[in-house]
Chains A and B, each alone.
Chain A
Amino acid sequence: MSETNVAASGASVEPSQPRPTAEPAARRGPGADAAPLIHARKLTKRFGEFTAVDGVDFDVQPGEAFGFLGPNGAGKTSTMRMIGCTSPISDGELSVLDMNPRRDGPRIRARLGVVPQHDTLDNELTVRENLLIYGRYFGLPREECARRADELLDFVQLSDRGKDLVEPLSGGMKRRLTIARSLINEPDLMLLDEPTTGLDPQARHLLWDRLYRLKQRGVTLVLTTHYMDEAEQLCDRLVVMDKAKIVAEGSPRQLIERYSTKEVAEFRFAPGIQETLDGQFDGLAERIERLPDRVLLYADDGEDVVASARSRGLHPETVLVRRSTLEDVFLRLTGRSLIE
């Protein structure tokens, strides 16, 4: 497993990809033609003795949807807060929108849209007032705030709730309102910290749809998630974080190709049986993971594995052949499931 743990954090970004240049001030070396929206080298966050983010390197390009994938406590939120200029960096280098968060916090924040992990809506105000006052924090004129508020309520399908207080809204509605709020300043860069955690499937799909539309409009999205499907749906490129470090980097497809196989056969046995099967899976697949409740066999042809297993006299209670996902990548890289 050791060869897979090579940190991809140092991997350079493909220079071939054409990207729109928002900022002409490209002060980096000749290798990078356009300035990335976010540039981090050896970025570190410490809280006393505890290191939450341990020297990570990454770049986010304009127009990209970039994800931080990892379990709770991996350092995703701390990284997001540093990018959002609400948490000073402890060490390393970070530039956001070609500015320095240490000096230019307010100027950077003026161009960000932030969706925090937990809803931070103003419960003392109505839905529409939440948007109005938020626009004012950005210094927008009142009429402009009003115009954008109505437009955004429409965008997140909350127009009929404008006059209601925030509290009675459902979780999905609050999330949508938070996204609308983060768009009031027409941000160049959106930071979404676990945008759909805790939502039901319908609410999640509606939210993904809205985020996808934003991406189509050219808004750069940076999100954290511990949902594989979310990362696969939304991210062009992502980094896998574990224990404060980046352990892999690439597009969802690339990561699956690099760290997993095309297909996975999942075998589930009656309780107590799996423990008696030592050695019986050897040679059946490229790689075998034995989890407490099931055995995962990684191969390019899952059905093939099932057939060979049956011919060896293995009789699992249920069999599932599926495509590899980022979950498998994560398991491979860290030896643990993503959501315990």
Chain B
Amino acid sequence: MTALRLTPMFAFGSRRALRMIERNLLVYKHGWLVLFSGFFEPLFYLLSIGFGLGRLVGDVTGPGGEPIPYALFVAPALLAASAMNGAITESTFNFFFKLNYDKTFASILTTPMSPADISLGELAWALIRGGLYTVGFLAVMVLFGMVRSPLILLTLPGALLIGFAFAAVGMAATSFMRTWQDFDLIQLVVLPMFLFSGTFFPLDSFPEGARIIIQLTPLYQGVDLLRTLAVGVVGPDTLVHVAYLTTMGLIGLAVVSRRLDKLLLK
């Protein structure tokens, strides 16, 4: 039983999903360097924008109202954005391709493994990978002396929660996709979210109306969650973010579990 088998409504996949992690470990045994690819993306952003641009920007207002260096402002947001990007890529494009076109996955479907087992396993693997990247990124933050509070350790589960929420919704969205063109729509949603969810500049630099819309986006929820944890200023907002992302993930899973078999077993 997986932790996700809470109620029949969320019955999705089984313990067999763990076999997908085993497969991935076998694959990465042959070329574990590939594992590091996802580590560099947020790191490069941090170096260029956090430190490079940060030099021009100076301090900005942090979650507690105190001024903090721009690099510290942007680092947790980059972590949140990379958790989102990783999850979205894995759960939409890759997921659709694997289950519809990849022969390896076709062969796995002839065993007792179900599409749900495969998706759940691949999702778990993506989260494990994301977790490794997060640890690497946090190590860099330590190296640059950006640690203000022990709460920063909680950004790891926080990033995993963001990954889970986006991956579940990504899979749900994919279950409605008809053609490859439909996937362009996802980029149309993801890119503005990446740029405007309080990632690179504070919420109060937006006009009033835009602020409300931004606060409703899931990435803002994730960014603010990790930022409050990294700076060490938590409050009721932190719990709201956690509840928001958890609900989002569970709704995503509920949708996928109802649609997956029908769509993938033709």
Contact = CB atoms under 8 A, between A and B. Distances in A.
Interface string B226-249: 000000000000000000000000
Contact of B110 (A114, A122, A125, A132): A114
Main secondary structure of the interface of B (DSSP, over half): helix
B148 interface: no
B112 A119 contact: no
Q: Tell me if A's interface is mostly helix, strand, loop or mixed.
A: loop
A123 B26 CA distance: 12
A110 to B, nearest CB: 5
Interface stretch (B53-61, B99-107, B217-225): B99-107
A335 interface: no
B112 A86 contact: no
A138 B111 contact: yes
Interface string B22-51: 110011001000000000000000000000
Interface range, A side: 20 to 34
A107 to B, nearest CB: 7
A133 B22 contact: yes
Interface string A144-185: 000000000000000000000000000000000000010001
Nearest to B31: A124
A114 to B, nearest CB: 4
Contacts of B23: 122, 125, 133, 136
Contacts of A139: 16, 112
Given A109-B110, A137-B111, 14 more contacts: A84-B110, A105-B114, A116-B110, A119-B103, A120-B103, A121-B104, A122-B23, A125-B23, A125-B27, A125-B30, A133-B26, A137-B113, A139-B16, A181-B107
In the complex, the 4 A-B pairs of residues with the closest C-beta atoms, listed nearest first: A120-B107, A137-B111, A114-B110, A120-B103
21 contacts: A47-B266, A86-B109, A87-B266, A88-B265, A106-B112, A109-B110, A110-B111, A112-B110, A119-B103, A120-B107, A121-B103, A122-B107, A124-B27, A124-B104, A125-B26, A133-B23, A134-B111, A137-B16, A138-B112, A139-B112, A181-B107
